[in-house]
Amino acid sequence: MSEVVGRGTLLAGRYRVLQQVEGDVPGASAWQAVDQILDRPVRALVMHAGPIASALDGARRAALVADPRLVRVLDVGTHEDLGYVVCEQVSGPSLARIADHEPLTADQARAVVGETASALEAARRRGVHHLALRPSAVHVADGGRVVLTGLGTDAPLAGVPGGDARTTSRRDSVALVRLLYAALTGRWPADPAGDPLPAGLPLAPVVDGRPALPSELVPGVPGDLDTLCHVTLSTPDDGPHTPGDLVRDLEPWGEIRALLGSPVVGTAGGAVAAAAGSVTNAVTPASGIRAAMPEDDLQDTGPIQVQRQSVRSAFAGEQPAARPGTPPPAVPPRTPVFPAGAAAAAATGAGGGAGVAGPPSVAPGAARPPAPSGSTPTRVSAGAASAAPPPRPPSPVPSPVPAPAPTPAPAREPAPAAAYYGGGFDDVLGATNDDGPERRQFNPTAMVLTIVGIAVIVGVVLAFKALFSSLDTGSSSQEQEPQAPVTQTSAAPTPSASDAPTSAAPTGPPPQIQSATTVDPSDDDGEHQEAVDRAFDGDTSTYWYTQTYQRPDFAGFKPGVGYVMTLAQPTTVSKVRLLTGGTGGQFEIRASDASDPSGGTLLATGAFGTDVAVDLDPPTQTSTLTLWITELPTAADGAFRLELQEIELS
């Protein structure tokens, strides 16, 4: 294998292989590569052993499932007898690495597994199942996005047998609960029947023939998650039977925070960045946040939210004294709450000694000025205290919530570009109220309501006009006829005088397709034989489709592909209508059967479109009809593939 694919290999004349990356799928190797046409990094899975054809077919079916939590499959093909699958590059650590370092908090475990279950539910509705779930297949990318890999490929390569829809859905659901157990405990509850692929985590202890409860290994596990793991992993038929059932058991869940990687602080004029960086080195990250490791995948990524947690925990020692009875601060939108004055105070604290072992030096008197006796202490944000003179005592107010004291509004300075994000909600209110009545903002409410009202009036007028105009009883010749599908003339030879009797009006029952099959000259199994019935089921949302090729001429592998229809009884066919998901390409309508699809009588030729009707001149009486595809159309995604939504005969 190394002699065929290695550093510098060009797959399919497009993907340049760079270096091999870690992988745990037998018979395949994972590589970092670059798409030389689009100049973007990709990940290539090269298959050199095992059921390669089944894995490639599974990758093609997985590519049809559109979900942002599933890794996007970009290309599937072969290279010198090796199969390959090219997908988007996966950034971020795997759940195996995260849980191996430290178990996730309950809310984070609920969110990560809930997102994974949502992705598998979308795949299940398209008939695709994973069957090889493990912690190394789940990644947490930038911004807390969950990415699931290996759909359609890992199970065939690992030798996992398939099954009916009920069985495969249940197996994926139980595997999702195992992921939840691993996220909560950092231990993997082994499958009694054996795991097809390594989990990458220590095995969970077994008590009375079942995995120990998560609460027995980690304190603070919520009762619903503890019970869910117990009943699913201990009882054969209990627990969720589909990923959708598990989603309903876990929801609602919150936002996924950055779970692994080193904090990065943006530039904010120098002083704030230096002080915040010192605080990050001195303060232990909050629970559920993994510390930085040299080999982490996120070392060179943009800013993440670990810095927000560290600074908040640094100030936690001083806030309770000034804010008794205040609930935990809610996390507002990402708005900087350190004005320029706080940058100077932070810079002074950072430069006051050789090292910083606590929060930035901010004078308590400046941050919280003493209040007059008998009055409630006044809350003022650190930035406002350092940038403004001491405030006057606040006026008595009926509300029990202390209000910030009005202060003269100094000249506003630009806030740091990337300072500490987050903070208490009271800090944001205090910083906003420091501007006093001199700051006047434009209130767009009245203008928006006016525009909406005008739009509603115009809509009502147009609706009434359309309603009454539809009641017009004028001449029917003025009515617009519906647009008919594109009609293509037959390419069959003009009939001679001796053929004139056959061109009479069609007789017999209307043509009805009883069954269909596909014929591939290079493969006895045809192309996607399991989906042939979708082309005449009356539902345009389903379709039969060919394999995807790199050229419209089937990449030179075959002269064409046939879709052979067997009618319920011999009858006369005068028109064929094709509804497809692409344009271009060429086809032929032939009176032939599966034994010789490209033979028989040529009835018509044409080009594919979204709605194409072909008239057969003269109408032909037959019991079989073949759509012979000589050139593939271009699908919506730009690939060369026919998606036959519906074929109608009349």
Instruction: Spell out a b/e string for 22-35, using b for 16 or more CB atoms within 10 Å of the CB, else e.
Output: ebbbebbbbbbbbb
Q: What is the pLDDT of residues 187-212, one digit of tens each?
A: 999 888 888 888 889 999 999 889 99
Q: Is 426 helix (H, G, I), strand (E, B) or coil?
A: helix
Q: How far is CA 399 from CA 3, 133, 435, 560, in A?
A: 78, 55, 21, 80
Q: Which amino acid is at 599?
A: G
Tokens of 433: 């109220």
Q: What is the pLDDT of residues 208-258, one digit of tens each?
A: 889 999 999 999 999 999 999 999 998 888 999 999 999 999 999 999 986
Whether 150 contacts 130, CB under 8 Å? yes
- Give the residue among 254, 124, 135 at the shortest CA–CA distance from 187: 135
pLDDT exceeds 50 at position 321: no
Give the span between the Cα atoms of 201 and 184, in whole angstroms.
Answer: 12
Predicted TM-score (pTM) of this structure? 0.44
Instruction: Report the chain's terminal Cα–Cα distance, integer Å.
Output: 54
Q: Give the residues across from 549 on adjacent strands.
A: 640
pLDDT reported for residue 80 = 86
DSSP track, 161-215: ----HHHHHHHHHHHHHHHHHHHHHS-B---TT--SS--SSPBPPEETTEEPPHH
Q: Above pLDDT 70, what percent of the chain?
A: 65
Q: What is the 3-state secondary structure (H, E, C) of 63-132?
A: HCCCCCCECCEEEEEEECCEEEEEEECCCCCEHHHHHHHCCCCHHHHHHHHHHHHHHHHHHHHCCCCCCC
pLDDT reported for residue 508 = 66
Give the span between the Cα atoms of 160 and 243, in whole angstroms.
Answer: 19
Q: Give the residues across from 571 on adjacent strands.
A: 622
Torsion sign over Cα 496, 501, 504, 509: negative
**Which DSSP letter does residue 218 get?**
S
Tally Cβ neighbours within 10 Å of residue 159: 13
Q: What is the pLDDT of residues 380-414, one digit of tens each?
A: 333 333 334 444 444 444 444 444 444 444 444 44
Give the span between the Cα atoms of 581 and 602, in whole angstroms.
Answer: 25
Q: Above pLDDT 90, what percent of the chain?
A: 47
**Which DSSP letter does residue 324 get?**
T
Q: Give the residues across from 486 on adjacent strands.
A: 612
In the chain, the domains with their CATH numbers are 10-88 (3.30.200.20), 95-250 (1.10.510.10), 269-342+416-437 (no CATH), 487-649 (2.60.120.260)
As a whole number, mean pLDDT of residues 87-104 equals 93
Average model confidence (pLDDT) across the chain: 74
Q: Is 379 helix (H, G, I), strand (E, B) or coil?
A: coil
Q: Which amino acid is at 516?
A: A
